[in-house]
Amino acid sequence: MKRTFLFFLLAAVAVALCPQGATAQTTVTPGWLAWLGDGSENTYSCTSGTCVLGGEHWFSSFTVASGATVVNTTVNSPIIIRSTGACTVHGTISSSVNTARGGGMNFNGDFGGAGGGGGGGAVGALVEGANGFTTVGIGGLPISNGGLGGGAGAPGGPGNSVDTGQYHQILSGGTFWPVGGSAGGQGGCNGHGKCGGNGGLGGSPVILICSSINFTGTIDASGGPGAPAPVNYSGSGGGGGGGYVIFSALNYVANTGAINVSGGAAGSCTTTGCAAGGVGGSGFTYTQTIQ
């Protein structure tokens, strides 16, 4: 009988001490990636066709069925799903202009890729392409640099991709309005009032924080392509920077889906005297098991 009590006591102590030890070692997930919300918006299910959803939502479960697409059509806004239950994505989530006409970013992003610079316009005139938009933090301080606009007749530069040392800051520190990649720069003008192609839109963030995640579908947070040069001796637009995708869950039933956070391509140059824009930088993806 004494052995039974002793065994029970030791087991109880082990149960108690293990998670506390982990907590003391500060290995717990940052709060913003562990908060599942309160489920106050109940269940959400997109079973077919296209469903429009943007901003942050607190569901008790979230489902995107195979063949269905959830798209965020609002410009400069993320999709954030917090769920006390399962998040199942067999279909598609789009925060990109490249899929189902998502809104994307038309300005500075934050922790995504930077926009490519616009190609330069006519030689001999002050018609440089616009710089790609830089990704910025609080106060507008730069994080990842946009590509330089091309000088007259010269191509635009590529936007920088976000690197590990940069995006780790959002993962650990969080943010209250994630925005994604930056827009590309517009191509330069032809010297006679006709300007180049617009920059592509950046990809917006997709963040899922759920009790469990079952992901076999597709998430598109890629940057949009720059627009082609519309007239001779104008530049094409730079590509938009890629956004980012973050998963955080206690359990993963599956995590085999496809994620696209690439930067957008430069606009095409099929006209005479065209200088091409730069490509957008890539964003990032991250998978967190809540501890």
Partner 1 sequence: MKRVIIILSLLIVVSGLSVIAHAQGTVTPAWLSFVADGAAGSFSCTSGICHLGDERWFTSFNVSAGATVVATANNGPTIIRSPGTCTVDGTISQSVNTANGGGVLNEGDFGGGGGGGGGGTLAGRGGELSVGPGGLPVVSSGAKGAANGGPGGNAQSTATGQLHELLSGGAFWPIGGATGGVGGGNGSGTAGGQGGNGGGAVILVCNTINFTGTIDASGGAGSPAPAPNTGAGGGGGGGYVILSAINFTAKTGTINVSGGAGGSCNSQPTCGPGGAGGNGWSYFQTIQ
- Of the candidates 76, 81, 46, the one whose C-alpha atom is nearest the C-alpha of residue 60 is 81
Q: Are 181 and 78 in contact (CB under 8 A)?
A: no
Identify the residue among 50, 51, 56, 73 touching partner 1 (CB under 8 A).
56
Between 44 and 233, name the residue whose CB sits nearer to partner 1. Answer: 44
Token look-up 């980012």 returns 244
Q: DSSP states of 52-108 as a string?
A: E--EEEEESEEEE-TT-EEE--STT--EEEEEEEEEEESSEEE-STTSTT---BSS-
126 binds partner 1 (CB under 8 A): no
15 binds partner 1 (CB under 8 A): yes
165 binds partner 1 (CB under 8 A): no
Identify the residue among 61, 76, 98, 285 touching partner 1 (CB under 8 A).
76
Residue 254, amino acid = A
Between 58 and 167, name the residue whose CB sits nearer to partner 1. Answer: 58
28 binds partner 1 (CB under 8 A): yes
- Of the candidates 148, 150, 83, the one whose C-alpha atom is nearest the C-alpha of residue 119 is 150
Rounded CA separation 97/51 (Å): 15
- SS3 for 219? strand
Subset of residues 201 to 240 that bind partner 1, contact rule: CB under 8 A = 209, 211
Burial of residue 40 (CB within 10 Å: 0-12, 13-18, 19+) is exposed
Rounded to 10 degrees, the C-alpha dihedral 229/230/233/234 comes to -60
Identify the residue among 18, 126, 253, 258 touching partner 1 (CB under 8 A).
18
CB atoms within 10 A of CB 163: 12
17 binds partner 1 (CB under 8 A): yes
Identify the residue among 179, 201, 227, 269 touching partner 1 (CB under 8 A).
179
Between 29 and 50, name the residue whose CB sits nearer to partner 1. Answer: 29
26 binds partner 1 (CB under 8 A): no
253 binds partner 1 (CB under 8 A): no
Residue 194 Cβ vs partner 1, minimum distance, rounded to whole Å: 30
Residue 5 Cβ vs partner 1, minimum distance, rounded to whole Å: 5
137 binds partner 1 (CB under 8 A): yes
Between 42 and 270, name the residue whose CB sits nearer to partner 1. Answer: 42
Residue 242, amino acid = G
Q: Are 284 and 162 in contact (CB under 8 A)?
A: yes
- Of the candidates 116, 90, 78, the one whose C-alpha atom is nearest the C-alpha of residue 206 is 78
Identify the residue among 70, 130, 136, 162 touching partner 1 (CB under 8 A).
136
250 binds partner 1 (CB under 8 A): yes
Q: Are 188 and 208 in contact (CB under 8 A)?
A: no
Residue 231 Cβ vs partner 1, minimum distance, rounded to whole Å: 32
Residues engaged in binding partner 1 (CB under 8 A):
5, 8-9, 12-13, 15-20, 22-23, 28-29, 31-32, 34-37, 41, 53-58, 76, 78, 80, 82, 84, 107-108, 110, 136-138, 140, 174-177, 179, 209, 211, 250, 290-291
